[in-house]
Amino acid sequence: MRKVIAAAAAAALLLVPVAASAQSAVPLYGPSIGHDAALKAIAASEAEAKKNGWTMVTAVVDTGGHLVALSRMDNSQMGSLDIAISKAKTANNFKRPSKAFQDAIAQGGASLRLIGVPGLLPIEGGVPIMADGKIIGAIGVSGAASNQDAQCAMAGAEAAVGK
């Protein structure tokens, strides 16, 4: 178990440039997102999806990575249920959008080790939800192309905190 935790920590550190970490602090966790804010996030995500003719699954997790709310639009693919939850957990647990891992793996080399990190889904569409500069949870969306998933996730994350 210690090896798994150490591997996950080492892999996460691969994504943080040394110079950048000295200049900007990694965000802290704040109080967890509540049910009402999670439902606002889902509503905004689904509104963005409907506007574009996409069918999506949207998941919102709290700061502990636990599911707060989940919605599957009619006719969305069943496989998107687990993917949306995993994207949200990735964004929350690693304090960055899941796209950061997708981009790192695309570069190859040592970053390919990220594929083996437990609980990490390196596909765009998961983003942290920030309030007062702190992470209060995350949203994950799945059902279309990953950049379209991210578009809906961003709409949801902004709505959750009233932006």
Phi, psi of 78 (to 5 degrees): -65, -35
Its domain, for residue 49, covers 2-160
CATH number of domain containing 36: 3.30.450.150
Domain count, the chain: 1
pLDDT digits (tens, 9 = 90+) for 97-154: 999 999 999 999 999 999 999 999 999 999 999 999 999 999 999 999 999 999 999 9
Q: Reduced to 3 DSSP states, what percent helix, strand and coil does the chain have, rounded to the nearest 5? A: 50, 15, 35
DSSP 7-48: HHHHHHHHTS-HHHHHHSPPPPB-SPPPHHHHHHHHHHHHHH
pLDDT digits (tens, 9 = 90+) for 16-39: 443 343 446 889 999 999 999 999
Instruction: Indicate the pLDDT class of residue 8, thresholds 50, 70 and 90.
Output: very low
Give the residue-averaged pLDDT of 157-161: 97
Q: Who's near 31: CB < 8 A, 6+ residues apart?
A: 63, 136
| Reported pTM | 0.86
